[in-house]
Amino acid sequence: MSFPDLQSFIRLLDERGELLRVSTPVSRELEITEIADRLVKKGGPAALFENVQGSPFPLIIGMLGTPERVALSLGLPDLDALAVRVRDLIDLSSAKGVGGMLSQLPKLRDAMNLPPRRVKKAVSQEVVWTGDQVDLHKLPVLKCWPLDGGPFVTLPLVITKDPETGERNMGMYRMQVMGPKETGMHWQRHKTGARHLERARAQGKRLEVAVALGGDPALIYAATAPLPPIPGLDEFALAGFLRGQRYPLVKGITVDLDVPANAEFILEGYIDPQEEWKTEGPFGDHTGFYTLPELYPRFHVTAITMRRNPVYPATIVGRPPMEDAYLIEASERLFLPAAQLILPELSDYHMPPAGVAHNLVFASIKKRFPGEAYKTANGLFGLGQMMFAKVIVVLDDGVPVNNFGEVWREVARRAVPGRDTLTTRGPMDALDHSSRGWSYGGKLIIDATSKTPEELGTAAASRQGQNDQQGGGEVLFVPHAAADLPAFEGVLAQRQTDEGYWYVALNKTRPGQAQELAAQFAAHPAAAGVRHLLICDEQTDVQNEQDVWWTILNNIDPERDVAVTGTLLAWDGARKLPEEGFVRPWPPKINMDKSVMDKVEARWHVYGLPEKWR
């Protein structure tokens, strides 16, 4: 089942009881965020705000806030069906070696290459604003978090064309509203839009840009998907594949770009590469931390077109889990068969919400030879946007990669700190605040697979020992929590788990304090039943496993901050100081103002929302 537009999907959500309508006036500054955050954290319905203060347009948020709704939006019974659909296109069994793999890629491209169809009239152009009519402030653009630099468009489908090749691109980049006709354009250095702008600069031209808000759910998802660089495969082709029909496009009013004919709004305009960039941010980002102010290009709006009765689509990002986690899960399923073409030993993989996509990857493999875990991890680092991964954990086939607790239990049992851990370096996400350099830093591979004699370095590590079915004498670690934990300087709270982990919240006041603390913990008898020491900042709830790992993964550069200390693998997730050589500003975690939380709490019954989602 495909949807012709966003509003048809909204109607289906309403019919299925997956939509809450709020007719009470609600502020677009923080109030909607607090409501939406509560709903998505509890797996609640989407919300349609019919009366947004200061705007004539309703706002929909949380449409894709559960895996089930993402699957529904793509016309699938569940997200695993995405992998099945792609696997049906290609014969993995015949893809042996590099030649076999390459022979399959054209099939994938051709299957997804349902070229868009041009239409002459479009609902997305029923109303046209140009000149003095253009006013972005009339749209219900959200200020999401207290320290945000202003209101941000959070679900934009940004369309550009390569000035050299004419190839089209659509991506999702946040846009801070800076005036009635101007926004920032958050194009990081690795993004295709940034490359198009540089090519326009080289030609001395402005770069035309169109931004769609809405369209059907398949198009919204396609804008987030990390497509491989295959000629002829773009986001509109992917959306056509997902919806099973060619995507309708119409020529823009003031730009020579094709735009979605079924969108709710279209913003048309340009970026002048000769113009000085403007400070954008801060922004409460998908990492759960604020991205601090930086210079970015300025998007000038020349026209706004829309339906007669449009609905403004929005999302929020912040501390996980958030709506973006389920879009990421859809991409996992979609691209698993393609990854298996290149890495045939790969059984499955998962990027859990605590890792905010790029910080943590779990991968299971059908292991055949020593060192294959490292081979797989390095192969994953080479796959498109997987290059931004910070920590990759490799497990045996059969370990459920989507079971967060089970994975870490397996890591404690099978991965010996030092012997089965390896650091390397590579590109990092530009939003990573803890890496050794901007968009460049350390990475960690953890081999939690069953070990061969060669990997253990035992006497059986010879050609004669290849058929040893007992793993060459591998001894599994048996973790246990200590009854009494030591009190050390700066430790605000701590907890040991039965799985072999020691969580610590540290009030760091001086350079080197975390490393000194790690040595003290490692030398204490309470370390006997533990393999991993996780030192977090003072705001971390050590009773909450997800909060601990989310903090750790955001706050480490593995090469600098993960080290074998005694028998422990110590993870230093405390704030880094200038005195330690870290010169970049350290961003704050995202927290909502208490006054806003209290307001929403008091008004919950006024909104008419069910108590169970409160």
Give the sign of the dihedral formed by CA 51, CA 52, CA 58, CA 64: negative
Residue 185, C-beta contacts closer than 8 angstroms, at least 6 positions apart: 158, 173, 175, 193, 209, 271, 296, 297, 298, 299
Angle, helices 545-555 vs 404-414, to 10°: value is 70
Residues 197/187, Cβ–Cβ less than 8 Å: yes
Alpha carbons 438 and 443: distance in angstroms, whole number? 14
φ, ψ for residue 32, nearest 5 deg: -65, -40
Q: Hey, which residues does 346 pair with through a beta bridge?
A: 365
SS3 270: strand
Alpha carbons 383 and 103: distance in angstroms, whole number? 18
Q: Calculate the alpha carbon distances from 391 to 23, 387, 557 in Å.
A: 45, 11, 10
Alpha carbons 285 and 291: distance in angstroms, whole number? 6
Report residue 315 as tokens. 């999302």
Distance of CA 173 to the CA centre of its chain: 13
CA-closest candidate to residue 455, choices 422, 408, 407: 422
Alpha carbons 291 and 299: distance in angstroms, whole number? 20
SS3 4: coil
CA-closest candidate to residue 584, choices 431, 427, 426, 467: 431
Residue owning tokens 């200020």: 143
Q: Hey, which residues does 222 pair with through a beta bridge?
A: none
SS3 50: coil
Alpha carbons 69 and 16: distance in angstroms, whole number? 11
Residue 290, C-beta contacts closer than 8 angstroms, at least 6 positions apart: 145, 147, 148, 281, 282, 283, 284, 587, 588, 589, 590
Instruction: Catalogue the active-site residues.
Output: 285
CA-closest candidate to residue 72, choices 173, 175, 1, 152: 1
Distance of CA 159 to the CA centre of its chain: 20
SS3 563: strand
Residue 470, C-beta contacts closer than 8 angstroms, at least 6 positions apart: none
Give the sign of the dihedral formed by CA 182, CA 184, CA 189, CA 190: negative
Alpha carbons 498 and 80: distance in angstroms, whole number? 32
Alpha carbons 333 and 587: distance in angstroms, whole number? 32
